[in-house]
Amino acid sequence: MTDVAVRSGRSVRPERTPARRRPKRRVGRRLHGLVYLAPALAVYVLFAIWPAIHTVYLSFLEWDGILPAVPAGFSNYVTVFTDPTLGPALWHAIVLILFFAVIPCAFGLLMTALLQGGVRGMTAYRMIFFLPQVLPLVAVGITWRWMYSDGGLVNRGLELIGLGSVTRAWLGDYDTALVALGLIGTWAMSGLCMVLFLSGVQKVDVALYEAVALDGGGPVRKFFTVTLPALRGEVTIASVITTIAALASFDFVFVTTNGGPVNQTTVPGLLVYRLAFNEADIGTASALAVVLTLVVIVFVTAIRLITRERS
CATH number of the domain that 80 lies in? 1.10.3720.10
Model confidence at 304, pLDDT cuts 50, 70, 90, reads confident
Q: Output the CA torsion 44→49→55→57 (10° steps).
A: -140
Same domain, yes or no, for 189 and 255? Answer: yes
The torsion angles phi and psi of 266, rounded to 5 degrees, stand at -70, 135
| Residues 81-106, mean pLDDT to the nearest whole number | 90
Does residue 131 form part of some domain? yes
Least confident piece of the model among 70-74, 105-109, 204-208, 294-298 = 204-208
Same domain, yes or no, for 107 and 256? Answer: yes
| Residues 223-235, mean pLDDT to the nearest whole number | 89
Asked if 267 and 96 touch (Cβ cutoff 8 Å), the reply is: yes
Q: 201-210 burial string, b = 16+ CB within 10 Å, else e?
A: beebeeeebe
Q: 127-152 burial string, b = 16+ CB within 10 Å, else e?
A: eebeebeeeebeebbebbbebbeeeb
Does residue 53 form part of some domain? no
Q: Final residue of a domain: which of 30, 47, 64? A: 47
pLDDT tens by residue, 103-144:
999 999 988 888 776 667 677 777 887 888 888 888 888 999
| Residues 36-53, mean pLDDT to the nearest whole number | 91
Asked if 252 and 184 touch (Cβ cutoff 8 Å), the reply is: yes
- Is the pLDDT at 55 greater than 90? The verdict is yes
Q: What is the pLDDT of residue 95?
A: 92
Same domain, yes or no, for 85 and 40? Answer: no
Does residue 158 form part of some domain? yes
Same domain, yes or no, for 31 and 94? Answer: no
Model confidence at 4, pLDDT cuts 50, 70, 90, reads very low
Q: Final residue of a domain: which of 47, 65, 87? A: 47
Does residue 81 form part of some domain? yes
Same domain, yes or no, for 29 and 112? Answer: no
271 vs 278: CA distance, rounded Å: 10
Does residue 55 form part of some domain? no
169 vs 149: CA distance, rounded Å: 5
Q: What is the pLDDT of residue 212?
A: 87
Q: What is the pLDDT of residue 6?
A: 47
Task: Tell me what the pLDDT averaged over the chain comes to.
Answer: 85
Least confident piece of the model among 188-192, 215-219, 230-234 = 215-219
Which residues touch 172 (CB under 8 Å, ≥6 apart)? Answer: 260, 261
Model confidence at 77, pLDDT cuts 50, 70, 90, reads very high
Same domain, yes or no, for 100 and 204? Answer: yes
Same domain, yes or no, for 206 and 274? Answer: yes
Q: Final residue of a domain: which of 5, 31, 47? A: 47
More confident residue, 91 or 12: 91
If one counts the domains in the chain, the total is 2
Does residue 128 form part of some domain? yes
Same domain, yes or no, for 235 and 100? Answer: yes
Q: What percent of the chain has pLDDT over 90?
A: 35
Q: What is the pLDDT of residue 10?
A: 53
Enter the pTM of the model.
0.81
Residue 91 domain boundaries: 75-307
Same domain, yes or no, for 38 and 87? Answer: no
168 vs 131: CA distance, rounded Å: 28
Same domain, yes or no, for 136 and 33? Answer: no
Same domain, yes or no, for 43 and 151? Answer: no
Q: How many CB atoms lie within 10 A of CB 52?
A: 13
The torsion angles phi and psi of 149, rounded to 5 degrees, stand at -70, 175
Model confidence at 22, pLDDT cuts 50, 70, 90, reads low
Most confident of 26-35, 206-215, 244-253, 280-289: 280-289
Q: What is the pLDDT of residue 162?
A: 87
- Is the pLDDT at 14 greater than 80? The verdict is no
Does residue 163 form part of some domain? yes
- Is the pLDDT at 53 greater than 90? The verdict is yes
pLDDT tens by residue, 240-287:
999 998 988 888 899 999 988 888 999 999 999 999 998 889 999 999
Same domain, yes or no, for 40 and 85? Answer: no
Asked if 179 and 94 touch (Cβ cutoff 8 Å), the reply is: no
Does residue 239 form part of some domain? yes
